[in-house]
Structure 1
Amino acid sequence: MQWDLGLQGLAVLGAMSLGFGVVAGLLAGNGWVHRLWATAICTVACFGVGLLTSEWLFGWATEEDLQPNVDGLSRDEVLLSSLFTTAAVVLVMRYLAHRWTRSSSSLR
């Protein structure tokens, strides 16, 4: 496997990951600390999943096979994988927030 992701592709991946992280933070739940954690976790997860999607799952494809391709980044495939990653992070964070709120109220 050859890694052909350039600096522009990494910058686009980072910007997309940060955007999805902010969306996850807005949808995640209560309190700014919880939202900040959701933003950070989702940003890192989207970057990692996007990197694996672009370079491992679709690393075999040429630029003609995958359009649009931004400096080695399979943009559409990364957008789709980031959407699923964000949905998973938001669901888990909301579940954990609900569970934590329920358990802390039963301690009182």
Structure 2
Amino acid sequence: MNDTTGLKKKRVSGWLSIKDPEDLQKALVRMLNKILASDDPLQHAGRFASLANTWLNAKRLELEAGEWQEIKARLEIVEQAQAFDNRMQVADFKANMAELKQMMELE
């Protein structure tokens, strides 16, 4: 890791790179566990509640992103099906897509 002067900085122990909601969740879980393991967790109840809320929001964002990917894939299939010239091609395409979906579920 470089700073603006080009000198390398040493990462501190426990460093986490946060690039997506899953990384954020991992960091939040670490912090929540530290609070729970402390001598007096009730002293940190406000921080715990705030971190727990942030974790829930990150989880919600992760789920929504997955749903959007699924919707996008379905839309592409519909657009491809509309591009066919006759009903026979559409029927073949739907059968192939059903077979592909079944194969993916088996994995």
TM tier, smaller: 0.3 to 0.5
Q: TM-score with structure 2 length normalisation?
A: 0.38
User: Which one has the largest radius of gyration?
Assistant: 2
